[in-house]
Amino acid sequence: MCIVSRMSLGQTLLGLLETRPQHGYDLKRAYDERFATKRPLAYGQVYATLSRLLKNGLVEVDSVEPGAGPERKRYTVTDAGVTDVERWLASPESPEPYLQSTLYTKVVLALLTGRSADDILDVQRAEHLRQMRELTRRKADGDLSDQLICDHALFHLEADLRWLELTAARLNDLAGEVRGR
Partner 1 sequence: MTHSTPRTAPAPESTGTPEDAVEPLLVGSGLRKSFGLTQALEDASLSLYPGEIVAVMGPSGSGKSTLLHCLAGIVRPDGGRVGYGDTDLTEVSDSRLSDLRRTEFGFLFQFGQLVPELSCVENVALPLRLGGESRRRAERTAVDWLERLDVAEVAGKTPGECSGGQGQRVAVARALITRPRVVFADEPTGALDSLNGERVIRMLTDAARESRAAVVLVTHEPRVAAYADREVVVRDGRTRDLGGLA
Judged by the rule CB under 8 A, the positions of this chain that interact with partner 1 are 92, 122-123, 125-130, 132-133, 135-137, 140, 154-155, 157-158, 161-162, 165, 168-169
Question: Exposed, middle or buried: residue 70 (CB in 10 Å: 0-12, 13-18, 19+)?
Answer: exposed
Q: Do 12 and 27 meet the contact criterion of CB atoms below 8 Å apart?
A: no
Q: How far is the CB of 157 from partner 1 (least distance, A)?
A: 7
> Are β-strands 59-65 and 22-23 bridged in parallel, bridged antiparallel, or unpaired?
unpaired
In the complex with partner 1, the residue whose CB is nearer, 33 or 165, is 165
Measured N-to-C along each axis, helices 43-55 and 6-19 cross at an angle, to the nearest 10 degrees, of 80
In the complex with partner 1, the residue whose CB is nearer, 84 or 93, is 93
Q: How far is the CB of 109 from partner 1 (least distance, A)?
A: 19
| Alpha helices (H) along the chain | 6-19, 24-35, 43-55, 79-90, 99-112, 117-141, 144-169, 171-180
Q: How far is the CB of 12 from partner 1 (least distance, A)?
A: 23
Q: How far is the CB of 162 from partner 1 (least distance, A)?
A: 8
CA angle (73, 4, 28) in 5-degree steps? 25
Distance separating alpha carbons of residues 49 and 52, to the nearest angstrom? 5
In the complex with partner 1, the residue whose CB is nearer, 10 or 92, is 92
In the complex with partner 1, the residue whose CB is nearer, 20 or 137, is 137
Q: How far is the CB of 118 from partner 1 (least distance, A)?
A: 8
In the complex with partner 1, the residue whose CB is nearer, 52 or 170, is 170
